[in-house]
Every structure is written in C-alpha cells, then in structure tokens.
Structure 1
C-alpha cells in the first residue's frame, strides 16, 4: 500500500516521498490580518478567499473616494489598476500586455473560445473533472458550433496523461483545455508535459489556473501554454469579480473579440473607416470598468508579496501535507487527492465513509460549534473539499479532523 508510510509518519513530520514545506514565520501575525477566523474556520478558499485587513482597508478607501467624488478624484487611484496588471503578469512570468483584466477565470475561457474561428467537426480534448467554467462554454460550443468534445480521465502522472491525450487525438483536434489543478479531486495535472504534447501535435493548449495560481508557483513560459486564465478572488484573496486572461503574443493577435467598445481599438477613424484592434490584451477591455476592484487586487498582491511567495507556497504545502496525513490515519475517511504535494496543491478532497457529503457540510457549519467550519461539497464523488491557504493553521486542521471524528 503506497500510503502506509504516510499513515505511520509523525503528524508534524513528513515522509521522504512528500514535500511538506514549512510554516510561515510569525503566523500568528498573519492570522491577525484575518479576524473573521476567530468565528469561522474557513477551509474554502478554493471558492472564495478572504481579503487581509490591510488590503481591505486600502480597497474600501479607494472605492469610497471613487464613488463619492467620481472623476473629481483626478484619477488618483487609477494607477492601482496598472499595478494590478503588472502584479498579475509578474506572478505568472508574463509581460503586462500579454494579459487582459476580466471579471473571473470563466471570462478568459470564453474570450479564447469565442475569439477563434471554429469549423463544424473541430474537436476539443478536456477532462472528466472540469468546473462549469470549462464544461458549460464547451457544451454551448458543441450545441451551437457543432464541435466535438473528448473527455479523458484525470491523472497526476505525465506518462498516463500523454497516453490518454494521444488516444483521444484525431486530425480534427483543435484544442486541449484543462484545469491545472482539478477543482474536484485536487489533482495537479502535468500541465507542462500536456502543453508540450499539444504543441507537437499542432493543438492549442489552454490551462485554467483558478485553483493553482497563488497556491503553487506558475510560470506560463515553463508551462508552454497558449492560453491561461485565473481569478484574483480565490488564492490571491482579492475582491470578488476580478480575474485575468493570458495569451501568448502570437496567439493574442489571432483572437477576434466578440464585443468592442471604447478602449479595445488602437485605431478607430470615422472619416476613413479604418479600424485596428489593440495589439495586446487591451483588445478585450472597453467601456467603463471596475477600476477600484483592481485597486483592491493590487493591495492584496502587495500584502501577499510582503509575505514572500516562496514562503506562502511552502506554508500551503506544509498544511496540506499535515491534513492528508491526518486523513490517512482515519479509517472512516477516504482521501481522493494525491498524497505527494507535487501532484496536488491547496485542495484536499475526502469522502466521509457512509455519510452524505451535503449533510456533513451542513453539520460542520452549524451554530454551536466553537467555530463554524466552512468546506465545499463535491457531489460527483459524494465528497467534501478542504482548502488550506496561507492563513490556515495546524489548529484549523486539527479542529476539522476532530469534527469529522464524530462520524467514525
């Protein structure tokens, strides 16, 4: 049994096959920036993160001033939108012009799918563990553009995934579209290997990083993807309704926006009729935009950068590994997420054997507990999903495991 060594490990230690990382230094000070944790054990960052108080204060100040004074602010906070673009681009090792600011990761999926020209019978390979952010646009494309979908089962193993990609490939395959980290099982897919396979077969590669960015290091150059999308409201703890879309420069200029407005055109000459799209991500940005939401993104990124991204990734690795070890010690819990951290991220999915996951979720958040425990239900597997973020602690994990012991 490959999990035996993990069941026998010291709860604060790590087996040789798992990168456990280390806790953030002065974590009590980090926790002070999230006072709601005194009342709620928030283990659902994978749905919505929570803003650190210093960033939230800056965001509220900027939003209040903008809504009170409008253009009377003289654009004092508009530079924060530029800072957010630069910060997001820096986080994925891209140029600021390579990204478009959006409302969420789903927007990015749609920008690429709608921006390409499709022929009836074109095919897209995707996986069996996708969020509606991928599934629903693809289903719509299947119905209204007559494309075909081929789904392959998720695995963290590169050789297995390449074999499955090859088995699903046909001469009509146009795109490989998948989540970097599955929102269901928490599996981290071998994205770089999959994108390399796609490139070798003349297939476009699209990586949805909603559950990876901010939890693990992401470098789009190393991934080799044509497109990447994510949000700022989960692991980046920014305002809700913020995200971005990345495309390689040569791919960005191929995309034709479905909607155009003030800002998306580099040339708009009424006299001659000449029109030219912006050469970069700005082609997808137009009209009145939510500048102050992205001011909040910039503030959250500043705060997180102050902790140091390597430190954040290491902390998430430690807490996730600690949680998995606790699950493996309990016969009434069944772990669905790969044990090695290199094959997962900040999401851990488990089954409470013999119990309905929805009922368990409701019970965990009920009043009367020392703190309400918030998790996510994964109906596909009758499972619950726990997110362990930079603000979560060993005590948070111990508390939820003790609550789950009530089901033993």
Structure 2
C-alpha cells in the first residue's frame, strides 16, 4: 500500500530523478487524512469532499467531484499565478502524473480530456485505405467519432463487435475479427455503457505478437484500478483526470509507449514540440520533434488546473491506490448483489464475472421506462445516468470512495419499492 510519503519519495528518487515538494498543501485546512480503519475510515474521508449531501451522487462515471485538498491546490496556484503574473509551467504536474501510472515522464503528453488523446492517436497512426481497426459497439462518442471521422476521410475500415460477458469471450471475439489488414485494436478499458472491464493486458500482449497497435480509451481506468500502464502493456492509453481521479475539468493525459514516439505522427504542435525552428532560413525550417511525448502538447496550458490534477494523484496515493481499488470494487459488488435479487423486474447488463466489472453497474427496468425511472430516482434524491447509447435504454450507477454502503443499500431498497 503506497502512502503519501513513500509515493513522493519514490517519485523523487525513482522514475523522476529530482526532488518534488508535495503539491497537497502542508496546511490542508480543516481536513486531515483519517487514521481510523474499516467503515469509519471512509466515513471520515467523506469529509474531504464538499459534495452536497442533500442527494446521493451516483454519477462519477461522468464527473468525479474533487476533494478539498485538490481544490485548495488549484486555488493556491490560481492566487500565485495571478498574483505574480508568472503563469508557470506544467513540468511538475507531468512528473507526478507519469509516476502515478508507472511510466516515464517522456511517455506522457498532457491533454485536456480523453477525447483529445484519442484524436492524437487516431490521426497520428500510419494507416492507409483498407486498413482495419477493431472497435466495440459500446464506444463512447469520444472514441467512436474520431475513428469514424478517419474512416470517412481516409477510407480505413472499422470492425465493431458486441462485447461478451467474460474476459475469455471478449479476447476470443477480438481474435476472430483479426485479418492480415488489421492494424489497430481501439477499445475502452471499461465501457461507459455497462461498466464492462475488457482484459486489456491479455489483449495487448496478443496484439503485440501480431504487430497490431492497441489504443485504449482509458476514461474510466485511471483512479479506479491501481493502474500501471507499463505492466498493462498497451501502446497508447488516453484518460481524463476529472472522472475517477477526482481532478479538475479540462485535464487529462495520453500515454505513448516510448518505442512508438517516432511512429505516432504529431500533427498539432506548438511551443516545446520541437528542437528548433527558424523562419529566416531559405527555406524556413523546423529541426525535429522533441524525443518525448511532449511533442503532442500544443498551446498554453493551465498550470493551476494541471497542478490540481497532480494533486488528485497525490490524494489517491495518500489514501492508497490499492485501497481505493478495493473500496470501489466493494461498493460496486454490494450494488450488483443487491440488484440481483430483482432479476424478475430488471435486466442486469453488467457482467456477473467479477474480473469483468469494477465501478459501474447498469440495469434496464422491465416494467417502467428508463427515463421515467431516472426521474423517480432524482425525486428520491439519487443522481444517476441514463444510457441511451448502444440502444440499451438503461440506468447506470457509478460508485466511488465518497459513497457509503448505507447509500448503496438505500438505493437497492428504492429499486425494490419502485419496480
């Protein structure tokens, strides 16, 4: 279990190679990390979140509210940059985020959201007309549209499949779709529709043996799993900090395996993307791209927001990444098992296989419309998400560390009374 101090020490002498002062303020205001254990720990940790308690927030899959220490970091950085006029740099944030997911700093590009990272990969890969890309029928628009757009403009071929309910089934489905023309497997780590966890480590290892790129939509992966991208083995991984990492909106990052930096073409570039440029030569020249994933960054970036994102990574490490993964699974399992008793009244769309789910449970009421159920849920004080995507017409429930077992049990009781 990695605590805050060991995380920072590891960051400073391990992958980072320099000393970093903690981003979380040494004076964190009214919040102190709990020392209690068991359910009492999570009750105390809930006090870190200014999230209103007049309703139960079950929509972390869309947006994860930040805890006070993260908000304090953003406010402090805003005051500092606006007070000095020095808007700063994001180097420190990049270092912390890279260490958080177990990769080298030079493998991380700072983006504004998952979709931006996916677009960098979609357009940067060397694909030609007729090349095939495997996707699922359960893509978020942020992964679907970039690939659909490239298919429209460059005549690549998308091959979507309906995900199965087990890891083995999904690996087999992907293998069955592969042909000599298959160049990319572009799938989510966790589907936004049913919360299905795809076996990325196994898929990536098999794909690499076939010289097929793996481009992963990791919107729901960072902040749920005790994630190490090097161990996961994929080639590219795009994610956002504003969901399960509990960081600020407008922040995210893209992992590009170092060996593929010169394969993934940079098209949108700006300051620090290059090693030198000169408009006075004849012809005007640009020397080369920097030998890092920083080449994909472009334009001014918000130091306060990215420092807030890094602070969210520190918050997770202070609690313990493995501890958070276990808690997320615990709450989600409690919900899944609670809803399972109503199978005559609803269809559980999230897989029963424990390794194929982690943080979101999706179900479809049988005797009431999903929109009507959502309206009733809102009136009862539950913030849910409807899932019209993939023709599911269902309800999605996301649980994170600020939720409690009592809230899950109350929702299960509501479902039983409503359906």
With normalisation by structure 1, the TM-score equals 0.88
Structure 1, gaps ≥5 residues long? 1-21
- Aligned residue for 1:333? 346
Structure 1 position 403 matched with structure 2 position 418: no
Residue correspondences, number? 377
TM-superposition CA deviations, 1:165-198 (whole Å, max 9, x none): 2321121111011001111111111111111221
Q: Does 1:232 align with 2:244?
A: no
Distance in 2 (CA, whole Å) between partners of 1:197 and 1:392 is 37
In structure 2, what is the equivalent of residue 316 of structure 1?
Answer: 328
Paired position in structure 2 for 1:301 = 313
Contact 1:357 1:383 in 2 (8 A): yes
How far 1:116 sits from its partner (Å)? 2.1
The 3-state SS of whatever aligns with 2:351 is coil
Query: Deviation of residue 92 (structure 1)?
Result: 2.0
Give 1:152-301 correspondences, 5 Å limit: 152-272=161-281, 273-301=285-313
Aligned to 1:47: 62
C-alpha deviation, 1:365, in angstroms: 1.7
Query: Are 1:32 and 2:59 an aligned pair?
Result: no
| Aligned pairs (5 A) from 1:111-150 | 111-150=120-159
Q: Over the residues paired in the alignment, what is the CA RMSD in angstroms?
A: 1.8
Q: 1:274 deviation in Å?
A: 4.3
Deviation readout 1:128-154 (Å, 9 max, x if unpaired): 111111111111111111111101221
CA distance in 2, matches of 1:49, 1:328: 26
Structure 2 residue corresponding to 1:70, chosen from 81, 85, 110: 85
Please report the TM-score for the alignment, with normalisation by the length of structure 2: 0.85
User: Which residue does the alignment assign to 1:6?
Assistant: none
Q: Which moved more, 1:238-247 or 1:150-159?
A: 150-159
Q: In the alignment, is the contact (CA less than 8 A) between 1:186 and 1:347 conserved in 2?
A: yes
Shift of 1:199: 1.3
Deviates more, 1:26-35 or 1:160-169: 160-169
SS at match of 2:51: helix
Partner residue in 2 for 1:17? none
Partner of 2:5: none
Deviations 1:28-53 (A, max 9, x none): 21111123241231111110000001
CA separation of 1:136/1:392 partners in 2, compared to 1, >3 Å: closer, same or farther? Answer: same
CA shift digits 1:174-225 (9 cap, x unpaired)? 1011001111111111111111221122211111111122111222222221
Give me the whole-angstrom Cα distance separating, in 1, the residues matched to 2:76 and 2:268: 32
8 Å contact 1:162–1:197 — kept in the other structure?
no
Q: Residue 303 of structure 1: SS of its match in structure 2?
A: helix
Asked if structure 2 preserves the Cα contact closer than 8 Å seen for 1:46 and 1:235, the reply is yes
